[in-house]
């Protein structure tokens, strides 16, 4: 249901089906069609990303950060694809691993944003978690900020592997997994991966701006940007992507049915957040967060920016006023209602 709802919204986006407002000057008329605001819409997703980045930048403290990518073996991807309810627990699992590490090894509470990510470069299903974590945190006993601290790759790698393996074992034991494989076979698969060396990337001392620009491409946009499409016919969809091994662009081809199926896997479930907040950023840590941010900013509060309307956004990001006609005259709304 949620897939068809989002697809229908995107198809109707920017068309009379969603309504419009009409603006006019003495010589010209402009119809401004309403947008769908779906995360799967390239246009609406881009605007939402820009607003989200502005808001997050003002709320995050100005401290060093680390960007962590927590992956898992590809044999686990089909399990999460068939059992989407498990995907909702991955950000909390990743955050718990990092919170426990920071508290046990450094005695601090960090800022954490966890973003689940479910597609690879070729739009294949590939679940992993991107995490922004402060390279430091608040010492709750002394009420002071401690920074910088080091993040040990091997410790985080082993703890993440153990957490996912335990999570899947428990899911099999409680019989909450759907799929064709018998529990005994799933157990063998899980056990075989528990002895592997999983891939975890840590990029230390990244600014919050760098991370927000990077992860913004995933949280509120479809997997494939419009400019990457090379050809769309009644039987085939072709788009380019970057191949890291070949170090060049390559073409990826899907039949229309395969493309729709792959795109459907990336539609977020209803009422599920694309990013989750933990540690000092957790809603339950409001007072602690205010204390930490007050220290880091010298007691000067930073107000949350207001969300830009469609006209403000165009002026800010594209340098033109959509309500100024070709003769420089201001157009005013004559039909429709504010949206």
Is the pLDDT at 70 greater than 90, yes or no? Answer: yes
Which has the higher per-residue pLDDT, 124 or 57? 124
Higher pLDDT, 270 or 70: 70
Q: What is the pLDDT, as a whole number, of residue 337?
A: 53
Q: pLDDT class for 133, splitting at 50, 70, 90?
A: very high
In this prediction, residue 339 carries a pLDDT of 44
**Cα R_g (the chain), whole angstroms:** 23
Mean of pLDDT values over 160-181: 88
- List beta partners, residue 253: 238
Cα(192)–Cα(126) distance, rounded to whole angstroms? 19
Please choose, from the candidates 55, 58, 69, the residue with its C-alpha nearest in 3D space to the C-alpha of residue 115: 69
Q: pTM for this one?
A: 0.83
Compute CA distances 296 → 55, 64, 273, 300, whole Å.
18, 12, 28, 9
Report yes or no: 61 and 297 within 8 Å, Cβ to Cβ: yes
Where does residue 245 fall: left (phi above 0), alpha (psi -120 to 50 degrees), or beta otherwise?
A: alpha
When mean pLDDT is compared across 29-38, 66-75, 180-189, 266-275, the lowest value belongs to 266-275
The residue among 1 and 32 whose pLDDT is bigger is: 32
Residue 254 pairs in a beta bridge with 237
**Residue ranges per structural domain of the chain:** 1-59+311-339, 62-223+266-296
């Amino acid at each position: 249901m949620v897939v068809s709802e989002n697809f229908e919204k995107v198809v109707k986006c920017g068309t009379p089906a969603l309504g419009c407002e009409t603006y006019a000057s003495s010589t010209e008329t402009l119809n401004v069609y309403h947008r769908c605001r779906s995360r799967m819409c390239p246009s609406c997703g881009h605007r939402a990303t820009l607003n989200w980045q502005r808001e997050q930048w003002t709320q995050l403290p100005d401290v060093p950060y680390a960007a962590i990518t927590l992956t898992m073996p590809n044999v686990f991807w089909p399990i999460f694809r068939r059992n989407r309810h498990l995907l909702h627990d991955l950000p909390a699992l990743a955050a718990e691993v990092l919170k426990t590490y920071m508290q046990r090894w450094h005695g601090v509470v960090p800022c954490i944003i966890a973003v689940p990510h479910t597609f690879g470069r070729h739009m294949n299903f590939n679940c992993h978690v991107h995490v922004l974590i402060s390279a430091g945190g608040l010492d709750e006993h002394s009420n002071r900020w401690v920074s910088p601290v080091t993040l040990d790759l091997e410790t985080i790698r082993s703890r993440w592997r153990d957490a996912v393996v335990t999570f899947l074992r428990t899911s099999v034991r409680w019989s909450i997994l759907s799929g064709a494989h018998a529990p005994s076979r799933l157990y063998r698969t899980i056990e075989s991966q528990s002895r592997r060396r999983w891939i975890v990337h840590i990029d230390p001392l990244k600014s919050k701006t760098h991370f927000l620009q990077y992860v913004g491409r995933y949280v509120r946009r479809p997997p494939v940007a419009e400019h990457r499409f090379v050809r769309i016919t009644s039987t085939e969809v072709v788009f380019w992507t970057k191949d890291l091994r070949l170090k060049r662009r390559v073409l990826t081809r899907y039949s229309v049915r395969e493309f729709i199926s792959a795109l459907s896997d990336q539609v977020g479930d209803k009422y599920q957040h694309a990013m989750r907040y933990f540690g000092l950023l957790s809603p339950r840590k409001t007072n602690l967060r205010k204390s930490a941010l007050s220290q880091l900013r010298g007691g000067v509060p930073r107000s949350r920016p207001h969300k830009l309307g469609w006209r403000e956004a165009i002026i800010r990001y594209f340098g033109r006023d959509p309500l100024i006609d070709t003769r420089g005259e201001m157009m005013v709304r004559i039909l429709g209602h504010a949206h």
